[in-house]
Amino acid sequence: MATIHLKNVPDSLYKKLEQLASDRNCPIDAQAIALLESAVAEQTLAQNRETTKPVQEIIAEIRQRREQRRTDIEWPDSTALIREDRDR
């Protein structure tokens, strides 16, 4: 397990951490780990919410791209392209 040493922890913050640990009848280091786990989980969830788009928004983007695709070009048949590539 890794070890973290913190410097310059404000006295007021340490007292609050000490009080939380005392209220929960656990050591200060266990309380600090629990708070860190909670904060990291919350940050991770917030980042996932920011990067993940709702399904409806993704579908709307797909439809928009489909409508913007050029129609004046005759796209080659993928089967013919694969066959041509294999014959090389």
Mark out the alpha helices in the chain (DSSP H runs): 11-23, 28-51, 55-68, 78-87
pTM: 0.54
What are the sequence ranges of the domains in the chain?
11-70
| Tens digits of residue pLDDT in 20-78 | 999 999 999 999 999 999 999 998 888 777 677 788 888 999 999 988 887 777 878 89
The span from the CA of 77 to the CA of 88, in Å, is 17
- How confident is the model over 1-24, as pLDDT tens digits? 888 888 999 999 999 999 999 999
